Amino acid sequence: LDIVADILKKSKTIAVGPFFVSFVQRAFGFNDRAAAILSQEREGGKPDLFEELTKMLHAGLANGKQLDEAHAEFTTYMQSALDHSVSMKGCTKVTLMNWLRYKITIATCKAIWGPENPINNIEIVDAFL
C-alpha cells in the first residue's frame, strides 16, 4: 500500500505512457500487433493514440453527468447482453473469461465514445483480443 500512496503523491511527475501499453496488453489480452498500434508515433505533429485516449478518458470519466451517462450506457449494454444470452435457445459453450472480456470491452468503449466508438464491431475487437 505504500507504493500506492507514493504514486498518488507523485501523480503529476510520474509518466504513465511507458506503462500504458503493457497494462492494456495484459489487462485486455491485446496481441503484439494491437499493442504496437497504441504506442506508434503519429505523423504531422498529431498527438499519439495514448495521449488522445488519455484526454478522452479524463473528460468522459470526470465526476458528473458524463460519468453517470457512461455508467448507464455500460449497464444497459451488459444487461442486454445477459438478457440475450439467457433467452437463447439451446446451449452454446463459451469460455466465461473470453465472453466477459469481449462484452466488457464493447460496453466500456460504447460508454466512453458513444456513437464515435472506434471498437464498434467484432472484426475490430478480434484484431485487439
Task: Report which residue type is found at 6.
Answer: D
Are 104 and 81 in contact by the 8 Å Cβ rule? The answer is: no
Indicate the pTM of the whole model.
0.48
Report residue 11's pLDDT band, with 50, 70 and 90 as the boundaries: low
Measured in Å, how far apart are the chain's first and last C-alpha atoms? Answer: 31
* Phi, psi angle pair for 40, to nearest 5°: -75, 135
Q: How high is the pLDDT of residue 100?
A: 84
Are 56 and 112 in contact by the 8 Å Cβ rule? The answer is: yes
Report residue 4's pLDDT band, with 50, 70 and 90 as the boundaries: low
Distance CA 1, CA 64 (A): 29
* Phi, psi angle pair for 45, to nearest 5°: 70, 10
pLDDT in tens, 53-71: 777 777 767 788 878 888 8
Task: Report which residue type is found at 3.
Answer: I
